Amino acid sequence: MRDRSIFNVTFLTMDIPYNLFPSGLEALLVALVILALLVVPFVFYLITLQNTFKALQPENRRMPPGQVWLLFIPFFNIVWQFIVVNRLADSIQRELRARGIEAAETTRGPGKAYCILNCCSVIPLAGTVARLVALICWIIHWVKTNEYRKQFIAEPFIVQADDSEIFGYGKY
């Protein structure tokens, strides 16, 4: 009888060598491709968030634009993602109010759904579904955020001066 170890697969009477462990170079290449597929879109997402914060007037920003990159810190990002999503939604809402545009809800809904589902993705079995729905919510949040960024860039904020600023009274 032939050896039926995990390294050789016996099919009928032929031995087909099957290596379950690729060589070091192949494993490194596979790991780099997977890493690129996961990290590159996330970097573009963070660039969109940062540029959206930059498109807002400084007085309407609830956080500095560069702080979105803290989402790369493992374990810290679990809490920080909620903070970024909420502060972004608050900042966009403040900017819209300052421009005289009324918006019921900005990016908070899909952003919170993404964060919650992202945390739920560690649950066995249900985590697979949560991960898929989180991906959809993440894309929706990204698209809505980018739409607001484009709107703020296309229509620059113009400060309306009132009489007290024009004639210099009210400063003292």
Any domain includes 56: yes
Any domain includes 16: no
The per-residue pLDDT string of the chain (172 residues; one tens digit each, 9 = 90 and over) reads: 555 555 555 445 455 555 555 577 888 888 889 888 889 999 999 999 999 999 999 999 999 999 999 999 999 999 999 999 999 999 999 999 998 888 778 899 999 999 999 999 999 989 999 999 999 999 999 999 999 999 999 987 666 555 455 555 554 4
Q: Which range of residues forms the domain containing residue 79?
A: 45-158
Any domain includes 140: yes
For 27, the enclosing helix (H) or strand (E) is: helix 24-55
Any domain includes 32: no
For 16, the enclosing helix (H) or strand (E) is: strand 14-17
pTM of the model: 0.75
The Cα-based distances of 147 to 18, 37, 102, 120, 137 in angstroms read 50, 24, 16, 28, 15
Q: How many domains does the chain have?
A: 1
